[in-house]
Structure 1
Amino acid sequence: MMDLATALRWTTERYPHRRAVGGSAPMSYAVWNARTERYAHALHELGATEGSRAIFMLQGGEPLATLHLAAQKARVVSLPLSTRVSPEELAYCIGDCDPALIAVDEHTHDLVVGALEMVAEPPPLVWAGHRDHAPAGIPSIARAAERASNTVVPVKPGIDDISVMLYTSGTTGKPKGVPRTHSAEHYAALAHLVQTGHGPGEATLGVMPLFHTMGLRTLLASVLSAGTWVPQARFDADEALELILAEQVSALYLVPTMYWTLMQGDRLGEAPSVRNLAYAGASMTPTLARRLVEAVEPARFVNHYGSTEIYTFTVGPENSSKPGCAGRAGLFSRIRLVDPDPGASPDQIVADGERGQVIASLDSPEAFAGYWNRPDADAKAIRDGWYFTNDLAVADEDGDLWVSGRVDDMINSGGENLYPEEIEHALAGCPDLEEVIVASTPHDKWGQAVTAFIVGRLEDSAETTLSKVEQFAREGSGLPSLKRPKRYVVVDQIPKSAVGKILRRRLTEGEFETLADTEEGAPA
């Protein structure tokens, strides 16, 4: 197993003139490799010494990818952070990881400056944005790179060195740092290539942010396969389709909400180059999966189920015939379904056909070794060499996994345990809605009420949407009365994270604007 710096250099030796970066500012592997060497020198010059950590607060695209790869060569831990964090969250992360520097651009400068006011010993800023927008007094990493020689950086990271640290799950408390080694990142990229059928030299759309494991996997898999990584700093459906057509993108790895947006007007079917589809980060409704199959006719359509901590849990390679199925353990993975009780042991395996919590072996070479400075989080999530995902799933008669939500999202209504995703999939077949998410809300009689939060069609009023969806739930969803929502709420949008993941907890906690509501006395 090799480190990521060596991986990029060896790919460059094999294919120096192959297109490495696509889009409006393309680069060959020889050019990109040399660029990352100079930026690695620059990181050292600006104070990020070997073994230190550097926060990269950039909007995305090639500048962020170059810094991430340069950090691998400089033996510096890369910390790409979400540009949508609050100043308070950012201040916490800065204090938690003690970075040698923070790289900013024109999109993040003010956010970072505000966060640094809350940090006792703020690290220095370096400029990584457009030269014309550089504030006075902040050193430019591009200028430092220009002063650097074209020689190979005279350090070599080890496979057990930390490559990257991602912060995750700030919705239920403080963000948790997930350190990942060069070896774990390399194995994860190899697994991605095999599991999604990503072939040598393929072009892929680099729109998933690099502060998310999916974005890193798309980038690193492209490097290992000597493919073309086509950057898009921020998702825009029209621009994405233009890039897919212009660059002959053949492999897509996106969250379901992005696919949903690309499918408006079925325009994705106009891109004949696309042949491999993969998704992760959230469940995909069978309705959307069928639409993608009809429009694209993919050669391979994969549901990847995993996490930041362990890249792969399971892979569902038959998403065309079993839409939404999470499949079986991945190439380097081992999983079990155990009792959902928070104190369950790895040996409390549920019976065949019974719903249980998914746990994954930390013996996987794709796995992390524990959270950064968070023994409390380790104690909750790690037990006897297994990682407890907090996800619920059931295995079908073929042994394939069907994920049915989070342990914390399970709704106990009138003494019955109900699972939001199962209800969502049934309601998603209604032609009179654009999006539906199911969560619990308090109820005097039932304790928790199954509540459907709906985004309606633009041409329908909120009251019309409410009436049509209620009728579909009764007559067309196939849901028994026990599982049908007790309450329907029409909202203007479903809350999502920066990478499009549904923030169900916000709905449960009442953080939504009501357009129409079946609950008597609720605001409309």
Structure 2
Amino acid sequence: MDLATVWAWAVERFPTRRAVGGPRPMTYAEWDARTARLAHALLALGVRRGDRVALVLHGGEPAASLHLAAQRIGAVATPLSPRFGPPELAHCLADAAPALVVSEPATGEATAAALGDERIRPVAHLDLAEVERRSLDQHDTAPSDPPTADDVSVMLYTSGTTGRPKGVPRTHRAEHAAAVAHLVQTGGRPGDVVLGVMPLFHTMGVRTLLATIVAGGTWVPQARFDAAEAAELIARERVTSLYLVPTMYWSLLREADPAALAGVRRLAYAGAPMAPALAERLVDAVAPEAFVNHFGSTEIYTFTIGPDVAAKPGCAGRAGMFGRVRLVDPSPGASPDDEVAPGEQGQVVVSMASPEAFAGYWLRPDATAKAVRGGWYFTGDLAVADDDGDLWVSGRVDDMINTGGENVYPDEIEAALVRCPAIADVVVVGLPDERWGQAVTAFVVPAAGVAPDEAVVAADRWGRDALPSLRRPKRVIAVDAVPRSAVGKTLRRVLVGGGYSALADSAVVPTEGHPRSDRTTEGALRSDRGTP
């Protein structure tokens, strides 16, 4: 099934139903006319079937409408993060070689600077308002040459938490399968009202949009996440379904009146682990009918589904409805047949036979060969299966901390420390250390009203009470914020590389197990390399 057909059938079924909420509401018939005019405008600008259309936009209805317009003419929507600077944009634009680049005032300057890179061939670059203007005198009928199911629908760029972003082309068939799977696996209902705040350069944002259309629901756009505004939209638009990253849920609980969330019936999350403490608070505040942990990636949308977060907080569950999953030896070069014994930690590998899977990275056969072996995609995620056969994700292969010759993973340490009432956020990394090789180091954000040095002392004490000795942080550093990507993925490499300013440090603040360092306060609170 191609998405142009999916769209046409949704319009045919529900022409007068509200398709878009928010300040600029539209019915399905009205949105059909708008996206058709935009599709014809793209054609008039020289975009043809198979061409990439780079969208450097924050989100909201205009970005979604351009995404759908590209689908209708068989072009490849290529959304890029508006948080990218010129070097990152230049890399992606040189790699994608788009036929058209569309930006907006907030991203126009960085995009123009990126397009000056000598690697990028000349390409039309228009402001969103100009594309909108050109669409006004176009036909509102469907374009005549729709795509096939095997044509590429979208090319997303991986977040680049460990390196340069890679293009992930996904076909119409894979996008449709993922949307259907999302609906079934999250308990979606026809006519659901969904908050559309996840960015369209991320798989969660695209999935929210397409699944809403497949179900004939209402997509309520929010171009940039703001917790207070989101809470107001949820209440006013009577949102019934949320699909967010954990950091957004934390913000909603802090900012929103619980009454604003009363109409939400279905919760789902992805993108990062959710601490049991947050899951418990959401259950208390919302009492959802369905609460789902979706574990997947840009490459293969669904790995596993944890269908009942209330019953098993943090559990990633079992393989999705269109997939197969194994746990294999996490050693480099392991075969997909090297499955670990029951109860042992292994790397999660997922069958490429899934209709939700990509076919390989864009122009990167080396990266494809590394990630796909023997018909299985090696995710880089580590997990353990419990006695029920459900997976519990324990971290990333790249995040492993080797301390004193033993391997530990940040997730379980973070899950323990985040319950400390003196801290609002935490991330754990391994920093180089002469004695330990890598020292387990906790970066904490003090809770409101808590001084940084007090937060350091409290977090250190909490770790000593809650964790076995090997997993206790050897060092606790207070910072004003944890570095994360636009969709909430923790950027541990920023901290390991010294990209932080310490507000307080257990190397200076006396704690029970960490007497005051001989180093000066000024030197210990100033981070040049982030090492002890």
TM-score scaled by length of structure 1: 0.96
Deviation at residue 265 of structure 1 after TM alignment: 5.2
Q: Give the whole-Å Cα distance in 1 for the aligned partners of 2:237 and 2:301.
A: 28
Aligned to 1:76: 75
Counterpart mapping for 1:330-349 below 5 A: 330-349=320-339
In structure 2, the residue matched to 1:447 is 437
CA separation in 2, counterparts of 1:200 and 1:173? Answer: 40
Match in the other structure for 2:480: 492
Q: Distance in 2 between matches of 1:266 and 1:69?
A: 32
Pairing partner for 1:407 from 397, 400, 409: 397
Query: Which runs of structure 2 are paired with 1:368-379 in the superposition (5 Å)?
Result: 368-379=358-369
Tell me, what secondary structure is at the counterpart of 1:482? helix
Match of 1:94 in 2: 93
Partner Cα separation in structure 2 for residue 271 and residue 260 of structure 1: 13
2:233 aligned counterpart, secondary structure: helix
Q: Which amino acid aligns with 1:513?
A: S
Give the conservation status (yes or no) of the 8 Å contact 1:20–1:29: yes
Equivalent position of 2:20 in the other structure? 21
- What amino acid does structure 1 have at the position aligned with 2:390? D
Return the alpha-carbon distance in structure 2 between the equivalents of residues 52 and 418 of structure 1. 45
Paired residue for 2:152, among 131, 140, 162?
Answer: 162
User: Aligned to 1:55, what secondary structure does the other structure show?
Assistant: strand
Are 1:245 and 2:238 matched, yes or no? no
Give the Å deviation of 1:122: 2.6
Q: Secondary structure at the match of 2:146?
A: coil
CA distance in 1, matches of 2:109, 2:260: 40
**Which runs of 5 or more structure 1 residues have no equivalent in the other structure?**
130-139
Q: Is the partner of 1:34 in helix, strand or coil?
A: helix
The equivalent residue for 2:529 is none
Please report how far the alpha carbon of residue 68 of structure 1 lies from its aligned counterpart in structure 2 after TM superposition: 0.3
State TM-score, norm by structure 2: 0.95
Which string of whole-angstrom CA distances, capped at 9 and with x for unpartnered residues, describes residues 308-339 of structure 1?
Answer: 00000000011001101000000101110000
* Pairwise CA RMSD: 1.1
Output the CA distance in 1 between the equivalents of 2:108 and 2:206: 23
User: Could you report, residue by residue, the CA deviation over 1:348-387 in whole angstroms, capped at 9, with x for unpaired residues?
Assistant: 0000000000000000000000000001111211101110
Q: 1:169 Cα shift?
A: 3.6
Contact conserved, 1:91 with 1:115, CA < 8 A, in 2?
Answer: yes
Between the aligned partners of 1:94 and 1:176, the Cα distance in structure 2 is 11
Between the aligned partners of 2:463 and 2:56, the Cα distance in structure 1 is 45
Output one character per residue of 1:113-162: Cα deviation in whole Å (capped at 9) or x when no partner: 11111144231112213xxxxxxxxxx22232122112220111000000
- Aligned partners of 2:110, 2:489: CA distance in 1, in Å? 23
Give yes or no for contact 1:266–1:295 (8 Å, CA) kept in 2. no
* Offset from partner CA, 1:180-205 (integer Å, 9 cap, x none): 00000000000000000010000000
C-alpha distance in 1, partners of 2:228/2:161? 31
Counterparts of 1:177-188 in structure 2, within 5 Å, are 177-188=167-178
1:21-49 Cα deviation digits (max 9, x unpaired): 00000000000011111111110001111
Distance 1:239 1:103 in 2: 27
Q: Distance in 1 between matches of 2:139 and 2:314?
A: 50
Name the counterpart of 1:133: none
Distance 2:430 2:501 in 1: 16
Whether contact under 8 Å (1:241, 1:268) holds in the other structure is no
Q: Secondary structure at the match of 1:315?
A: strand
The residue aligned with 2:493 is: 505
Q: Secondary structure at the match of 2:361?
A: coil
Counting only pairs closer than 5 Å after superposition, residues 235-384 of structure 1 correspond to structure 2 as 235-264=225-254, 267-384=257-374
Mapped contact 2:228–2:255 kept (Cα < 8 A): no
Q: Are residues 1:46 and 2:36 paired? A: no
Contact 2:227 2:255 in 1 (8 A): no
- C-alpha deviation, 1:62, in angstroms: 0.3
Q: Following the alignment from structure 1 to structure 2, what is the Cα–Cα distance between the partners of residues 30 and 460?
A: 53
Cα distance in 1 for partners of 2:397, 2:257 equals: 37
CA contact (8 A) 1:346 1:384 kept: yes
Task: For 1:170 and 1:336, locate their aligned partners in 2 and report how far apart those are by CA, in whole Å.
Answer: 25
Deviations, residues 3-36 of structure 1 (Å, cap 9, x unaligned): 1111111011111000000000000000001111
Shift of 1:63: 0.3
Q: Aligned partner of 1:254: which letter? A: L
Deviation at 1:174, TM superposition (A): 2.3
The residue number in structure 1 matching 2:406 is 416
- Report if aligned partners of 2:457, 2:506 keep a CA contact under 8 Å in 1: no
- 1:266, distance to aligned residue in structure 2 (A): 5.7
Q: Which residue of 2 aligns with 1:117?
A: 116
Q: Bigger shift: 165-174 or 487-496? A: 165-174
CA distance in structure 1 between the aligned counterparts of 2:297 and 2:195, rounded to whole angstroms: 21
**Matched residue of 2:470: which SS?**
coil
Percent identity, please: 59
Contact kept in structure 2, 1:253 and 1:279, CA below 8 Å? yes
Task: Give the counterpart letter for 2:413 in structure 1.
Answer: I
Report the alpha carbon displacement of residue 86 of structure 1 after superposing the two structures with TM: 1.7
Tell me the SS of whatever aligns to 2:524.
Answer: coil
Read off the aligned partner of 1:507 and give its amino acid letter: L
Paired letter, 1:58: L
Greater shift after overlay, 420-429 or 142-151? 142-151
Q: Does structure 1 conserve the Cα–Cα contact (< 8 Å) formed by 2:169 and 2:360?
A: yes
AA partner of residue 247 (structure 1): E
Which secondary structure does the structure 1 equivalent of 2:326 belong to?
strand
Farther off after superposition, 33-42 or 225-234: 33-42
Specify the code of the residue in structure 1 equivalent to 2:136: E
